[in-house]
């Protein structure tokens, strides 16, 4: 639900800081339990990836000038892991 909510808020031009905080602090065990099949896992990670790219570029559009650095820098924190 968080990934879908994040995308919806971004589409509406709303802040997603609250969702980013939840995702950063969620326990990996809880995240794993909530994604019960491959379809849910795939949808979650695709939505999160897309939502974070949008959120990052909304705040700092110049980051995309160096695309190589943009896509190799760890900028997403989920369940205490940086991606």
DSSP symbol at 65? G
Residue 50: burial class (beta carbons within 10 Å; 0-12, 13-18, 19+): middle
- Confidence band (pLDDT; 50, 70, 90) for 15? very high
- Confidence band (pLDDT; 50, 70, 90) for 20? very high
How do residues 39-75 score in pLDDT, each as one tens digit?
A: 999 999 999 999 999 999 999 999 999 999 999 999 9
């Amino acid at each position: 639900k968080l990934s879908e909510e994040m995308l919806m808020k971004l589409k509406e031009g709303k802040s997603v800081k609250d969702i980013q905080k939840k995702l950063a602090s969620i326990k990996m065990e809880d995240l794993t339990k909530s994604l019960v099949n491959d379809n849910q896992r795939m949808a979650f990670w695709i939505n999160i990836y897309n939502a974070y790219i949008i959120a990052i570029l909304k705040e700092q559009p110049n980051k995309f000038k160096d695309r190589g650095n943009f896509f190799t820098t760890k900028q997403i924190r989920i369940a205490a892991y940086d991606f």
